Amino acid sequence: ENHEVRRWKQGDTKGELVAGGNGKGDRLDQLNYPENIFIDENYSLYISDKENHRVMKWKKDAKEGIIVAGGNGKGNSLKQLSSPRGVIVDNLGQIYVVDCWNSRVMRWCEGDEEGEIVTGGNGEGDESNQLYNPYGLSFDNEENLYVVDQWNHRIQKYQKI
């Protein structure tokens, strides 16, 4: 409803605004249904901005974010996302995004115009090379990628990539 991200410390009653908070919209200081977040070692916040079909990076204390993935409307080209959900950044600074409605996981390097498909992208389905509306993702200590393949009711593991 507020299209914002807040940081809550123990005992807080209101929380501190850290991203968005300027109403629903697609400006760099706005969000439209923020879905998931990832915080890097510099306290930068990566936000899957679901209805803007983009991932935003908000540096600590910033008043607006920068688009680091998608942001070119809803679609399935390598420059687009469709309802991004989970987001995580690896130790090389590469941004991994669950592109839910395209049933794929994308990898973006900050500053790149387009991303690359890491897994999925072969239509919705339950084959080993397919996902069906994936939702979340994570890496383990050996850099294997795990994807929550929501509508297939499974977790997919992909060897270090």
For 125, the token pair is 């389905």
What pLDDT is attached to residue 80?
A: 99
- Split into its structural domains, the chain has a count of 1
User: Could you give phi then psi for residue 103, rounded to 5 degrees?
Assistant: 50, 55
DSSP code of 1?
-
Mean pLDDT for back-to-back runs of 10 residues, the chain (161 residues):
92 92 97 97 97 98 97 98 98 96 97 96 95 97 95 94 64
Residue 113, in any domain of the structure: yes
> Do residues 39 and 45 lie in contact, with contact meaning Cβ atoms separated by under 8 Å?
yes
Q: Is residue 13 part of a domain?
A: no
SS3 for the chain, per residue? Answer: CCCEEEECCCCCCCCEEEEECCCECCCCCCECCEEEEEECCCCCEEEEEHHHCEEEEECCCCCCCEEEEECCCECCCCCCECCEEEEEECCCCEEEEEEHHHCEEEEEECCCCCCEEEEECCCECCCCCCECCCCCEEECCCCCEEEEEHHHCEEEEECCC
Predicted pLDDT of residue 160: 75
For residue 19, being part of any structural domain is answered with no
For residue 86, being part of any structural domain is answered with yes
Please report, for the domain that includes residue 101, its CATH number: 2.120.10.30
Within-domain flag for 10: no
For residue 82, being part of any structural domain is answered with: yes
Chain centroid to Cα 40, Å, comes to 13
CA 49 to chain centre: 7
- Residue 161: the pLDDT is 64
Tokens of 63: 């008043």
Give the integer Cα–Cα distance in Å for 99 and 48.
10
What is the span of the domain harbouring residue 49?
34-158
Provide the whole-model pTM: 0.94
Residue 21 lies in a domain: no
- Report helix, strand or coil for 11: coil
In a domain, 3, yes or no: no
